[in-house]
Amino acid sequence: MSASSERPLVVVLAAGQGTRMRSPVPKVLQPLCGRPMLAWVLDQARSLDPERVALVLSPGGEAILEGLEAAGERTGAGEELTVVTQPEARGTGHAVQCCVDVLRDRPNAPVVVLYGDMPALSEATLERLVAARPAGGLSLLTAVPPDPMAFGRIVRDGEGRVVRIVEERDATPDERAIREVNAGVYCLEAGLLVDCLARLDDDNAQGELYLTDVVADVASRGLGVAALVADDHREVQGVNTLAQLAHARDIVQERVHEVHLAAGVRIEDPSTTTIDYGVTIGRGTTIFPCTVIRRGVAVGEGCEVGPFTHLRVGTALRDGAQVGNFTETKNATLGEGAKAKHLTYLGDVTVGARSNIGAGTIVANYDGTHKHTTTIGERAFVGSGSVLVAPSEVGAGSLTGAGAVVPRGTVIPPGEVWVGVPARRLRARD
């Protein structure tokens, strides 16, 4: 096996139109655990510490970069990322041919080919693939899925050596019976790849330039081809439909959960829990079933979240805060030990430490045109069924009675009891 002293080049093929998605959103921008699918693949590329990443897009690909940036993802444009346009869809081989100007300047650098619709590929598998490359040869990723349909088959000789890949449409019945399939992920030196690309032809069922033909070319030269079989065949599943996107999400979500579990977060039922990429959760926190935590949320230590809770972007729970059954938050900060346990909406609000938000409370933050903020001080008690119309303020240690409606612009001073519709001062709080 060979280890190059040069940093690798990575080619990411992302020019597919994704028509089978039946969605106005471009395929590689489909959301997956809180970020565009392509962002997961660019992370795969960056995990290899590449000298450069060539991202192959179809014409109009600037919309893909804009979509990544709008989602808060760094593109690296002008740094490690080079955008390459594939002017017409002539196959994977042609897509990589479009990157020749990036590749030819560093002929001895290893090149790794990835796909913008393969988000579940793990960094560990990629590292093994690079390490498996024979000196002067090629390594490729394969898998043995339960159903090999639509994948290219790995053809080996009598001694078990990979000699070529045959696409499904070009395969004979015997070749279709082969269970080992090609994932399309390769590693080989740039100079060898450029030379092989120049020899591709379109004599096949689809009339396209197949990147898979590079494998047969390398094998025929006796340069060595090493096949690495993925431990989990699900890693190599491409995403072409919304059903496949859902399957990929299962894998990625499982990995997100594993990170939090290893950090000391108790997730009572991972199968019913959604936690997006980029969420921070402190140790000792418990996430109860049927909870959704979206990107842009920070949860402290020793908190309780759920069941049936939805934490949306901008939510921050300080240590010991508790948010429970059928409670939704957005742009909400709950101080240490604050509680909102039942049937509550908290939007654009700051809740002070040790305050209690009663069941059925609504913070009415939207007037139909603009969002407004509400402040609830420390140790406040908001009675069940209260409606706080923003902007408004509930002072520290104050209390609203059950069913109180606090009008817009109201400031409840610290330590007072307010009741009624509209709410009025009743007395000082005991």
Catalytic residue among 94, 247, 310, 342: 342
Residues 65, 70: Cα–Cα separation, whole Å: 9
Distance (Å) of CA 20 to CA 24, 234, 242, 244, 245? 11, 20, 8, 11, 11
Short-list 319, 324, 318, CA closest to 344? 324
Q: What angle do CA 328, 330, 333 make, to 5 degrees?
A: 100
Strand partners, 346: 329
Q: Are 407 and 422 in contact (CB under 8 A)?
A: yes
Residue 342 annotated to the active site = yes
Residues 204, 209: Cα–Cα separation, whole Å: 8
Q: For 421, phi and psi rounded to 5 degrees?
A: -130, 110
Short-list 280, 271, 326, CA closest to 303? 280
Burial class from Cβ neighbours inside 10 Å (0-12, 13-18, 19+) for residue 195 reads middle
Per the document, the length of the chain is 430
Q: Are 388 and 364 in contact (CB under 8 A)?
A: yes
Q: Which residues are catalytic?
A: 342
